[in-house]
Amino acid sequence: MGKGKYFGLYLFLLIREVNCLLFLSYAPKLERYNVDKNAVSVSGLSSGAAMAVQFHAALSSHVMGLGVMAGVPYGCAGLAGMTISLCMLSPALINTHALILVAESASEIGTIDNTKNMANDKIFIYNGLSDSVVKHDVGPKLVEFYHHFTSNHRNVKTKFDFDSEHGVPTLNYGGPCTSLNPDYLLNCNYWGAYHMLNHIYGGHLQHPTASTSQSGQLLKFDQSDVFYLSTPETYSMDNIGYIYVPSGCAGKSAKCKLHIAFHGCKQGRHFVGDKFVRHAGYNEVGELNNIIILYPQVTSSLTNPLGCWDWWGYTGIYYGTQNGFQMTAVRRMMEKVVG
């Protein structure tokens, strides 16, 4: 009788624990919002920057602006025969002309959108002077790449004169600006996300201050909803993503913009929790300017232990095209939000 009593208690506690875990991992599907289809932009840090470059090139008919923080040009690793480390640490070896040909060839055969779509896009490129992960001189290679595709070179804005390590420069959150911090958020007294978004959206955004609150909603959503024949884990993607909905966009009456922010390696929720999605500086800008911020999430796997976005081919040879598995997943997220 005593053993049965304790077994029943153990079974009850086990069931309760399982239910708690199921509840914590549950997230609703993405909702549709009132979004201007001509005001969708992307950005990222490090591998997220490389993913943003790929997403912009592959879907340039849908994306009007790009922000790159410590990123590399399209096709640098894999498609142009260079290794990951060479792309990040040996900028002198990056053949920009070859990468332009890679993009133009992909456009010709239809695996990415027509490169002419990028002619009027706004591009913001940031590289810190002390960056030890993606060397400072990689930034100018991106400038060369985008000067070829943009009709007005003033559309490409750079910030190469700021002394920071590898990470997202923020106004007042994170570790020391010139130190390598585990969450890659840098306290630099420089609002990188604002300056980037302000350039992308025309230079007239309202500037947040240290007292600006995130009055909207930071919501989790079910990323598995955009995988039809597989699971997110198959392609090193998390089953949970985040979206910040500004208070002015929640009612869906105001026309809002959409920005997709790709985190860097070891910056997804399984590594840093919600630090990136709360403190990288995007939400305050979005709140004041009716910009919805979509935060897709990747996670670690056997082929991707550091939780990086795929910019070298660990998910397959089509990773940098419209048919890439991660590319397709994020495109479907975008379509669900925009409608």
In tens, the pLDDT along 67-113 reads 999 999 999 997 556 899 999 999 999 999 999 999 999 999 999 99
- Looking at the predicted structure, is the pLDDT value of residue 11 above 90? no
In tens, the pLDDT along 12-69 reads 334 333 333 333 457 999 999 999 999 999 999 999 999 999 999 999 999 999 999 9
Q: What is the pLDDT of residue 5?
A: 44
- Looking at the predicted structure, is the pLDDT value of residue 233 above 50? yes
In tens, the pLDDT along 213-224 reads 999 999 999 999
Q: Which of 47, 60, 113, 131 is catalytic?
A: 131
Q: What is the pLDDT of residue 80?
A: 57
Q: What is the pLDDT of residue 136?
A: 97
- Looking at the predicted structure, is the pLDDT value of residue 121 above 70? yes
Q: What is the pLDDT of residue 22?
A: 37
For residues 328 and 235, what is the distance between their CA atoms, to the nearest angstrom?
11
For residues 159 and 101, what is the distance between their CA atoms, to the nearest angstrom?
26
Q: What is the mean pLDDT of residues 200-211?
A: 97
Q: What is the pLDDT of residue 82?
A: 81
- Looking at the predicted structure, is the pLDDT value of residue 155 above 70? yes
Q: What is the pLDDT of residue 12?
A: 35
| Mean pLDDT, all residues of the chain | 92
pLDDT above 90: percentage of residues in the chain? 89
Confidence of residue 3 (pLDDT cuts 50, 70, 90): very low
Q: Which of 62, 136, 166, 259 is catalytic?
A: 166
Q: What is the pLDDT of residue 1?
A: 42
Closest CA to 196 of 184, 205, 185: 205
Q: Where are the beta strands (DSSP E) in the chain?
A: 35-45, 65-69, 122-126, 156-159, 168-170, 175-176, 185-187, 217-222, 240-245, 256-262, 291-295
Q: What is the pLDDT of residue 78?
A: 74
| Dihedral angle of Cα 287, 48, 181, 131, to the nearest 10 degrees | -110
Is 300 known to be catalytic?
Answer: no
Q: Which of 46, 60, 164, 236 is catalytic?
A: 46
| Cα-to-chain-centroid distance, residue 289 | 19
Is 131 known to be catalytic?
Answer: yes
Enter the tokens of residue 298.
């990747």
Q: What is the pLDDT of residue 229?
A: 86
Closest CA to 67 of 167, 162, 192, 175: 192
How deeply is 269 buried, as exposed, middle or buried, from its count of CB atoms within 10 A (0-12, 13-18, 19+)? buried
Q: What is the pLDDT of residue 84?
A: 93
Pairing between β-strand 217-222 and β-strand 240-245 as defined by DSSP bridges:
antiparallel
Query: DSSP secondary-structure letter at 133?
Result: S
Q: What is the pLDDT of residue 9?
A: 40
Is 166 known to be catalytic?
Answer: yes
